[in-house]
Structure 1
Amino acid sequence: MASSTAPGEDDGMDAFIEQFKEQKYKGGFNQDNWEEEFDKIPIFMKKAPEELDPLEHPELACIQTILYDEDQSPEELAKTYKNEGNDYFKEKNYKKAVISYTEGLKRKCSDSELNVVLHTNRAAAQFYLGNNRSALNDVIAARKLKPNHLKAIIRGVLCYIELKSYSKAIAWCDEGLQVEPKEKQLIELRAKADKQKRIEERNLRKAKLTEKKERVQAEALLRTIKERKIKLFQPPELSSQNSDDDDGGDKGDDRVLRALFDGINSENGVVVHLDENGNLIWPVLFLYPEYEEMDFISAFHEDTRFIDHLSVMFAENLPHWDTEKKYESNNLELYFEDEQREDLFHVDPVCTLRQVLGHARYVVKAGNPRIIVLARGSSFSRDFLSGKKLQAN
């Protein structure tokens, strides 16, 4: 007769459990690690891992497979991705939010309301990432599905303001206020866009007036330079343009001059200009090749003589680099150089700047007339002049 035993009596389980009675369990949670351990359990996780490794997180991979089961309908999948995107958005992980909303839109579900939400939410995430154009494209897509969707309109207005398209921002505000006349945010945004639009228009008017004034001044400056027969250095491309100009004559010269003086800056940041009496005021460089030094005269009136400046500059306090005390105003020789032909021309100190600039061989380079200054009779002066071709002035 077969004997009957209770379940578990002969399966060894009692003996197995018995051996643990005297052993303390070491794998339990304690007050120091319980939060960390809970965060490893999917249902209690506050934040998903940045990279999901199925081997490291098999339970998460399993849940993800269930959540995004392709057997689900496009509507169900789109909603799941929307919820995931919302979670990322709350965590301020806007890049992942964009990815989730995009995946939701890829399902191409038939629920237009859900698609509107996906587009609008993705627009918000793109906006926070600074991708204003992408955000705007999303709200436009949302409004195609639902023209009066207030959130899409508000987010579109924000994008237009960031893009400085104030007129479109105002137009969208007006459309939104037709839907909800008392919408506070739209009222505030419209006032902001209108204010910025007025500021932009005012700045544009000021810029145009400034541009017009500068153009008139430039034309007067170019006209005066041309009347004085002053030659400006022309880069090869401008020289060929002038010689090949079909119009020829004054029109071709004016075009080249305008190109040369369009925003011209001297090496020292000061530009030639006209004074109130129509006289040219130049930034002039005095070069001292013996010591590789120079002086910069920021405002040299064209009718001022060179000796007038030099007598002040070398009156009592001679420059620190003149250790031999030979650069005195009555002991200076002035020259200008035709660099193209390597010719050197003597300049009489009693000449005016206008007389020198009007010389047939003088060319102004980089906006700065330049004069070479040497100490008369010095050994450096003799060596320097011996290597140049001196021409009668």
Structure 2
Amino acid sequence: MSAEPKPAPAPSKTLDETMKEFDSVPLFMRDLPQEEGNTAIEALQSLAFEGHPDEAAENFKNQGNEYFRARRYKEALGFYRQGLEAKPEDAKLKETLLLNAAACDLELKNYGRALHATRAALVINTRSIKALYRAAKAFFALDRVKDALGCCDMAQDLDLSNPEFEHLRKQVQERAVQLERREKEREERRRRTMLENEALQVAFVARGLWVTTSDDPPDNPTPAHFDAEARPSYSSLDIPLIGATEPWKAPDPIRTPLVFPVMLLYPQHNTSDLISEYHEDTPIGMHLDVMFPSDARGTLPWDPQGEYVSSQLSVIARTRKGRLLRVGHKLSLRTLLDQGAQPGADGQMDDRDGIVLRDGIIDLYVFPKGSSAERAWIAETKGRAI
């Protein structure tokens, strides 16, 4: 008769799994929970603080050290804090607990707490090299390089031959150079942006545009800008932010061409197309030929009758005061803007007229030439003119 099969052996457990199981048993708990209602645990917690405060704190420190060596920094930090809560009378022991807590906080990236702990340790021992070192590391992690170097200087006065501090000082000095460069680049970038925007505003006024912004402007991923290829050398986008032989200057707002986003509106069908980059020296006909070629007649879903063909389209611009300007297919946008500009009465800028740049976009209206839709829109628009 064959023997009965034996049960399969239980799978072996890792050391970490075994430690976690011990952690859940009150007798072996190293990080006692704080919830109320478990009298056994509460009794064990009270036992942990029984005896002399230094003895209790020493025990907590030793348990924290075990977890620290296992890289379980959160648990280790809990024990070091409990050691401090035991209020040890031994100043050296209290200093050690604070330094160990700071070491855990550094590993956990709690840099503010690490600084708090090192500051308290320095109150106990103003010559603590470890406190200065850990404070310097926390300052370094927070990019507070001046404070980090200050700690390095203080430590050097106490210990001239500490290799760890020399290595840290070198790291901090390298970071300080990086941060200084970054700050200079940020400041130069801010200066260029300000000058560029000022030049753009001058360019808009020089072209007779009336600039307005609505309460809820749409997204405009390609706002009006100077043509990158036509920029003077002194305003090139390739000039480095720092280290340039000559300072960067904004483009000439009059002579440097602009590139605009232009919206083609089709009121007859309540739809539109956005030309995201319309060079002001380009005639409208070039865009219409690409968008409405004769061999694609009737392919647009909103134009089944095939009315929208480049050669048969009429383009109209509207000024701030409601004047309507017909845009010939060979007319450039820059010329259209010049034609739309009119000075105000007695030279008043607030009374001038011009093509509207609303929310950074120029609107042009497109109709089948001579259509009833075009005539009706013109009559309605003239009736609303100011």
- Common fold by TM > 0.5: yes
Q: Is 1:121–2:100 an aligned residue pair?
A: yes
* Contact 1:346/1:392, CA 8 A, preserved across alignment: no
Q: Which residue, out of 231, 239, 243, partners 2:210?
A: 231
RMSD over aligned Cα atoms? 3.9
Which amino acid is 1:203 matched to?
R
Note the C-alpha offset of 1:125: 1.7
Structure 1's 279 and 49: CA in aligned 2 closer, same or farther, altered over 3 A? closer
Note the residue ranges of structure 2 that are not aligned, 5 or more in a row. Answer: 1-8, 232-254, 342-352
Q: Which residue, out of 310, 333, 342, partners 1:329?
A: 310
Structure 1's 211 and 176: CA in aligned 2 closer, same or farther, altered over 3 A? same
- Percent identity among equivalent residues? 23
1: CA distance between counterparts of 2:225 and 2:24? 76
* Contact 2:56/2:86, CA 8 A, preserved across alignment: yes
Which amino acid is 2:206 matched to?
E
Structure with greater Cα Rg? 1
Note the residue ranges of structure 1 that are not aligned, 5 or more in a row. Answer: 1-30, 237-263
Q: Is 1:269–2:222 an aligned residue pair?
A: yes
Note the C-alpha offset of 1:379: 6.0
Q: Is 1:370–2:350 an aligned residue pair?
A: no
Give the aligned partner of residue 353 of structure 1: 333
| 3-state SS of paired residue (1:333) | strand
1: CA distance between counterparts of 2:147 and 2:52? 39
**Cα offsets for 1:114-154 (capped at 9, x unmatched):** 12112111112222222111111211221222122222222
Which amino acid is 1:208 matched to?
E
2: CA distance between counterparts of 1:117 and 1:267? 59
Give the aligned partner of residue 170 of structure 2: 191
Note the C-alpha offset of 1:230: 1.6
Note the C-alpha offset of 1:103: 3.0
* Contact 2:26/2:44, CA 8 A, preserved across alignment: no
Which amino acid is 1:327 matched to?
Y
Q: Which residue, out of 157, 160, 163, partners 2:142?
A: 163
RCO higher in 1 or 2 (8 Å CA, sep ≥ 6)?
Answer: 2
* Contact 2:81/2:101, CA 8 A, preserved across alignment: yes
* Contact 2:135/2:148, CA 8 A, preserved across alignment: yes
**Count of matched residue positions in the alignment of Structure 1 and Structure 2:** 329
Which amino acid is 1:120 matched to?
L
Give the aligned partner of residue 161 of structure 2: 182
* Contact 1:75/1:111, CA 8 A, preserved across alignment: yes
TM-score by length of 1: 0.69
* Contact 1:345/1:392, CA 8 A, preserved across alignment: no
* Contact 1:285/1:295, CA 8 A, preserved across alignment: yes
TM-score by length of 2: 0.70
Which amino acid is 2:334 matched to?
R
Give the aligned partner of residue 126 of structure 2: 147
Note the C-alpha offset of 1:63: 5.0
Structure 1's 122 and 297: CA in aligned 2 closer, same or farther, altered over 3 A? closer
Moved more, 365-374 or 283-292: 283-292
Note the C-alpha offset of 1:266: 6.2
2: CA distance between counterparts of 1:168 and 1:221? 42
| 3-state SS of paired residue (1:181) | coil
The runs of at least 4 consecutive aligned structure 1 residues that moved more than 6 Å come to 33-36, 40-44, 52-57
* Contact 1:266/1:283, CA 8 A, preserved across alignment: no
| 3-state SS of paired residue (2:364) | strand
Give the aligned partner of residue 287 of structure 1: 265
1: CA distance between counterparts of 2:34 and 2:288? 80
2: CA distance between counterparts of 1:293 and 1:265? 14
Q: Is 1:105–2:84 an aligned residue pair?
A: yes
Give the aligned partner of residue 67 of structure 1: 48
